[in-house]
Structure formats: C-alpha cells, structure tokens
Amino acid sequence: MHEDFRAGTRDVAPLLLGIVPFALVAGIASVEAGLDLGQAVGMSVIVFAGASQLAALELIGENAPLAVVVGTAVVINLRMVMYSASIAPHFARYGRRTRAALAYLLTDQAYALSVAEFSDDDRRSRWRYYVGAAVPLWIVWVIGTVTGVVVGAGVPESWGLTFAVPLVFLALLVPAMKDRPSTIAGVLGGTGALLAAGVPFNLGLLVGAGVGILAGVIAEEVVA
C-alpha cells in the first residue's frame, strides 16, 4: 500500500468510531420507516450522507409527500457545494473521470481531514490520501447501516429507538452553534420548525430551516 494512502487511513481511524452510532441509527430508522434491507443499503450507498438520510427516513415514516422528502434532504446536503469548491484546486490536476469518482466520496470527514493535510504537506498525493481516508468511512457507513437494520428489527417499539435520531442531530447541532449568528440561526430555526409543525405536507422543517438561515444572515449583518 502506498504511504500516502496509509496516512489517510491512519488519520481517519479515530473518526470511524464517531460515525458508528450514526450508521447504526440510520439502519434502525430505515426499519422504522418501512424500508427493507436492500432499500436501506441502497440509500446508504446512493446518497451516502447521514444527516440527509435520517431526515428523509423520518419524513418517509410520516408519509410526507415525495417532493418534501427530497427537498428537505437536498437542503441538508447543500453544504457539500462548499466542500466541493474548497477541495477543487487540489483535484484540478486529475482527469475528468478521476475527479468524478473522487467527488462521490466527498463527506464532512473526508473533506475536513484532506484539506487540513493538503495545506500542511504539499507533497502528499492528493487522491491517495483522500481515498485512504474516504473509503474506510464508506465501508463503516454501509456495514453500520446493515447492522442497524438487523438490530432495529429485533427491538420492541416501546423502547423508542428512533429517539436516537434527534439525539444524533443534537450531537451535531451543539458544535455547529459556534458563534452568535449561528446560535441565533439554530434557536430561530428550531423555534420556527416547532411553531410550523402543523403546516401541511410536513413543510414545517423547511419553514424552520428557512427562518433560521435568514436569521443567521441578518444577525451576522447586525453584529458586523
């Protein structure tokens, strides 16, 4: 194995533990939403973006309209555009096919590790390090989903295992509220979604998210 590939694998190892609960919950939530094993794995392979999968599964379980399921997941994954722009200069040296393949593996973790490493060490092979970090994430994600489906099918409903879904989001939300504008975005996004919970077509989440994003932009303007 190439040294740069191994460096990526070594750096991602501690993060793998962090995505295990996330992947398990995705599997459990798939069962609760009525997906079979094939559909659950299909979603983890095709979408391969945890937060959007959990949100989509929750809405599928509530029988939300297709457009709302897709729209909500799409909004959650908009942040990938930022990662794509930020990592693009490092991949510009590769051909179109290689870049297209590398893009599929872009996740929060692979992005954050790679960009930090590339700015530290200019001689690292870009694709080897990135693939070394991204592939273990993919493997853990898919195996975790399968395990979650099996576990989720065997636990009585009264245990409320799907409550793990908001808990995962909570664990992501707290560090995301890192300054005043982002805290205001979170507080108003949550309040907005709560007040809009009765809005038809399960649009409450998107309404709340819109209110929160707008509040964050305005707050940044006022603070600056």
Q: Counting contacts by CB under 8 A, is residue 63 touching other proteins? A: yes
The residue within the footprint of other proteins, chosen from 2, 3, 6, 46 (CB under 8 A), is 46
Query: Per CB under 8 A, does 56 bind other proteins?
Result: yes
Which lies closer to other proteins via its Cβ, residue 47 or residue 135? 47
Distance (Å, whole) CA 128 – CA 118: 12
Q: Dihedral of CA 165/166/167/170: which sign?
A: positive
Comparing CB distances to other proteins, the nearer of 1 and 175 is 175
How many whole angstroms separate alpha carbon 46 and alpha carbon 88?
22
- Touching other proteins, residues 87-106 (CB under 8 A): 87-89, 91-92, 96, 99-100, 102-104, 106
According to the binding rule CB under 8 A, does residue 191 interact with other proteins? yes
Task: Identify residues 192-221 at the interface with other proteins (CB under 8 A).
Answer: 192-194, 197, 204-206, 208-217, 220
Does the footprint of other proteins cover residue 78 (CB under 8 A)? yes
**What part of residues 147-186 is at the interface with other proteins (CB under 8 A)?**
158-161, 163-177, 181-183, 185-186
What phi-psi label fits residue 148: left (phi over 0), alpha (psi between -120 and 50 degrees) or beta? alpha
Sign of CA dihedral 219, 83, 105, 122: negative
CA atoms within 13 A on the CB side of 45: 8
Q: Given candidates 136, 144, 148, 189, which one binds other proteins under the rule CB under 8 A?
A: 189
Let me know: does 153 contact 35? Beta carbons within 8 Å: no
CB contact at 8 A, 29 and 119: no
Q: Which of residues 113-152 bind other proteins (CB under 8 A)?
A: none
> How far, in Å, CA of 131 to CA of 105, rounded?
8
224 binds other proteins (CB under 8 A): no
**Contact between 13 and other proteins (CB under 8 A)?**
no
1 or 95: whose CB is closer to other proteins?
95
